[in-house]
A and B are shown apart, each in its own frame.
Chain A
């Protein structure tokens, strides 16, 4: 199968994208307070974690976009943006929302959402902008169409079948 390249997501391959900062943070509590008892061991572990962590990194070397990890100043706008981000798919990790994902592209998408909301666009407009570009796949809140109609109709149909079955069974019992 052909695989297109995508940004590597930290959740995808355990260990492969542990950043320097995170690796040392993870290792820090394992060291005893009075200094490491097995100094060589700690160095080896640390070296291993760092060398395993860096070479496969497929992230750019630019810092995250301005609004990727910063909330909007206006709490009402931030709440709107956050609610929208929870329902937008991260295109790299594909199983997470952009609010949950730490992928670079998800950060850029969060920045885009916040910028647009701050500029006065409604969440619906921002969602529409993204759907125009990526299709319904980008939203976890799919619009009603003939493809998605079963999502709403199937439960009703199943419920109706259940009622019919129940009615028949109870009738027979009474008779």
Chain B
């Protein structure tokens, strides 16, 4: 018994070492994922931000799969994902948007400069809708399935390599 016990401190050290090493080699994932994925879209009623298209009402986001893009004109990665959103729109995807803490003028200028893929734009003045969706930043993109359920969440800007993945998720969400 005693002979075995003498190894205990070394074993303990090895365990602590392994723990620290694993933390160093594979740092923890700090992205905050929404816990709403798999649940139906929360009740949203956002007034239109621009006069030429409707706002966001949960009841209307049904019938076919679509993207719900959480963006802002003051968000720089949102500029980076604009070409990919345009591509998705050209592929026939309906893209609705929630504009976080934004003004009509700024959004109009943003869309004129970076392309305008949105069918609806809801005005989310105090991030209420963003919080209701479990989104922790901009940009984020949710795939909403035909039944109005949140099927998938993409965090951060949509890069070229993400377009196929999103199209696949939209296909699955039919």
Contact = CB atoms under 8 A, between A and B. Distances in A.
A134 B136 contact: yes
Contact of A60 (B76, B102, B132, B140): B102
B156 interface: yes
A108 interface: yes
Interface string B119-140: 0000001111011111011111
A7 B101 CA distance: 12
A132 B138 CA distance: 20
B127 A108 contact: yes
Given A60-B100, A137-B32, A5 B139 contact: yes
Contacts of B101: 60, 62, 104, 108
B64 to A, nearest CB: 25
B131 A108 contact: yes
B157 A5 contact: yes
Contacts of A3: 156
A6 interface: yes
Contacts of B3: none
Interface size class of A (residues with CB under 8 A): 20 to 34
A58 B31 contact: no
B134 A7 contact: no
Given A5-B76, A104-B127, 15 more contacts: A1-B27, A4-B31, A4-B155, A5-B78, A5-B139, A5-B157, A65-B127, A91-B137, A92-B137, A94-B30, A105-B136, A108-B126, A132-B35, A133-B34, A138-B32
B74 interface: yes
Interface residues of B, number: 36
Contact of A134 (B35, B100, B157): B35
Interface in B82-107: 100-103, 106
B136 A61 contact: no
A112 B128 contact: yes
B63 to A, nearest CB: 25
A2 interface: yes
A159 B125 CA distance: 52
Interface string A62-104: 1001100000000000000000000000011010000000001
Given A4-B137, A60-B102, A62-B102, A111 B32 contact: no
A133 B133 contact: yes
A135 B153 CA distance: 15
Nearest to A89: B32
A49 interface: no
Nearest to A104: B101
27 contacts: A1-B27, A2-B156, A4-B155, A4-B157, A5-B75, A5-B76, A5-B138, A58-B74, A58-B76, A60-B101, A61-B106, A62-B103, A65-B126, A65-B127, A66-B126, A91-B32, A94-B32, A104-B101, A104-B127, A105-B136, A108-B128, A108-B131, A109-B127, A132-B36, A133-B35, A133-B131, A134-B136
A121 interface: no
